Chains A and B, each alone.
Chain A
Amino acid sequence: MAAVATCGTGAGSTGSIVATTSKNNVTSFQRKGPRASGTDSGCSRLVSIAGTRPSVRNGQLLVSTGLPALDQLLGGGLAVGTVLLIEEDKYNIYSSLLFKYFLAEGIINGHTLLVASAKEDPADILQELPAPLLDDNYKKDLDEDICNHQTPDSNIKMKIAWRYQLLPKMESGPVSSSRFGHYYDASKRMPRELIETSKWHGFFFPEKLSSTLNKEPCSLTHGYRRLLQFIQKVIYEEGFDGSNPQKKQKNILRIGIQNLGSPLWGDDICCTENCDNSHSLTKFLYVLRGLLRTSLSACIITMPAHLIQNRAIIARITNLSDTVVGLESFIGSERETNPLYKDYHGLIHIRQIPRLNNLIYDVSDVKDLAFKLKRKLFTIEIHTQKKFNLCIEEKNVDYNTS
């Protein structure tokens, strides 16, 4: 893991937390920090990046996915250096919403964004990001519903800090907040000032098609190869991997790739079962993960997994990703009219959670999770409890008629 690596910072690159290739000389001085961090760059430097926090289990650096409910299910958040793969729902409604939450969280925290899409212009995607909920009163109600560990006292303190921070907001910079994970209002758009003051890079594949092809043949499709080169260029030039001597980056790069694997990227795994370059996508994922592991970045990918005909590829893609979440919406399916699911919009399946720096991982006991999208909130709940209540009601009806 990039941020928690045993980094020999004896040579004095104090700003860079990432283990660079040359700095492997481990000094004998080991800071006696929390058990699992094990680096001699102090823990205080790890938390000094806005919008991150160390995991309680192993000191790993986590970022929020933009959805506090999902953060809880994933064990606190998404680890820096890993890939979150979202298997899209059938009409790509809720997965694109999760994608936007991830990017919106990056803007609120001041992270750099890299948005890649073959369907929509990244500038348009950014215009459609949901607005953050900064009203503290409403947040207090929400906090009581979803079990949040904040005490009322600290809530009041937050309120004062929020009011204070709202004042210079109009002058400069995005809204900086010390919260981890924010709530968003899906019906409103993010204010333009916030988007304009944020730093982002866009990769719109149709624009890059006309550029010159590279010299060497490669088994990756053209689109994936260009995307990898673009990501690598941004990581290197902005200094996220610590190898650029000019730039010392202490920020996170949030990468969002939309509809990876769809035919718009030039890949045919969604079109046919026996595809020509079936290794293109898996190779892309492997090299992407290599890039992420050696830099301060986190990536969200949405993939139309329901269109992939070859089931073997899905298993391979799952093995090559770190966290995999599947969304199944009820739209158009027979479950839409099922009274069991009448309050919900779909099911959410946590297919894989990585075991990083550990033999075990935080896994919730609950496997039946459903989500619903209200105007201001995307909630994830257990749906089997309702099923139980429904059975009892039916029994009562039977006794009454006899």
Chain B
Amino acid sequence: MFPELNNLLNITPDRAEQGKLTLLCDAKTDGSFLVHHFLSFYLKANCKVCFVALIQSFSHYNIVGQKLGVSLTAARECGQLVFLEGLKSSVDVFFRAQAEPHPLQFLREADAGNLQPLYEFVRETLKPMDDGQAAWRCPVLLVDDLSVLLSLGLGAVAVLDFIHYCRVAVCWERKGNIVALAHDSGDGEDKENDILLNGLSHQSHLILRAEGLATGFCRDVHGQLRILWRTPSQPTAQRDGSLTYQYKIQDKSVSFFAKGMSPAVL
């Protein structure tokens, strides 16, 4: 986790909020550093994490996690982390017919399926332990990322349904959190993605949006992060707070600074 980002968001691993949906979105840049941040944050906060990783392999997250101070292999062994590796499972699902329904069953289907098997998998892994084992603080679902589900043949409505069901099961019933990453194509070309992103934005409590700089590539400033706090249940009750920072990604951390205040410029 990045301490500077924790300060900006005003959260610490001891005081993690509950029942929130956080949307991570990136436009014209790579927002995966946010996923690494939240993964290490919730593991350090002693929460049970179900990570649906559809884009990269386990070793990628593990190696980056080690730089941020968490060991995913250790977390997986003691049961704190349940890791669904999309790339590896897709090969199994696609080439061999499975006996029982696999969470990524939709890969075998000819027409647009739904994500019910995936939802069942999430609910199963995050259900409270009855046998008195080490109780984790709160369950967390982390999805990286949702836009790839659109590329795999699902409709935006199916993905929104999945998130809705997960919100009921995780956020409302178990008082857990959901963090999901979605890409923003920016120019309105991908209509399905826009539907997905708009639908998620209206449901989320916190939106972190990583954007590339409008002026183009810069070596010292990698992008701009917009933080937006929302209260979905009362849409017009109070004004939503929003902050904008620019950031530079380094080897083991990310430094944030106000716009135009990059250390390289000052």
Contacts and interface: CB of A to CB of B under 8 A. Distances in A.
A283 B189 contact: no
Nearest to A1: B59
B67 A359 contact: yes
Contact of A367 (B36, B185, B217): B217
Contact of B57 (A218, A293, A355): A293
Contact of A289 (B60, B87, B183, B185): B87
Residue picked from A279, A289, A315, A355, most chain B C-beta under 10 Å: A315
Given A289-B87, A365-B219, A359 B250 contact: yes
B66 A38 contact: yes
B190 A316 contact: yes
A232 B92 CA distance: 11
B73 A26 contact: yes
Given A229-B95, A232-B95, A287-B94, A320 B36 contact: no
B63 interface: yes
A357 B59 contact: yes
Contacts of A228: 94-95
B153 A320 contact: no
A357 B249 contact: no
A319 interface: yes
A229 B96 CA distance: 11
Contacts of B90: 286-287, 290
B150 interface: yes
B254 interface: yes
B224 interface: no
A229 B153 CA distance: 20
A360 B109 CA distance: 37
A320 B189 contact: no
Interface string A229-266: 10010000000000000000000000000000000000
Contacts of B219: 365
A19 interface: yes
A294 B190 contact: no
Nearest to A314: B189
B99 interface: no
B71 to A, nearest CB: 10
B198 interface: no
Interface string B78-114: 0000000011111100110000000000011111000
A218 B108 contact: yes
A358 B148 contact: no
B131 interface: no
A316 B57 contact: no
A217 B59 contact: no
Nearest to A295: B91
Given A5-B59, A38-B66, A359-B250, A319 B147 contact: yes
Contacts of A1: 57, 59-60
A1 to B, nearest CB: 6
Interface string B23-40: 000000010110010000
28 contacts: A1-B57, A4-B63, A5-B57, A5-B59, A6-B59, A21-B88, A26-B77, A216-B110, A279-B151, A282-B151, A283-B151, A283-B153, A286-B148, A286-B151, A286-B152, A287-B90, A290-B89, A291-B91, A294-B91, A310-B189, A316-B151, A316-B190, A319-B148, A319-B183, A356-B56, A357-B60, A358-B63, A359-B251
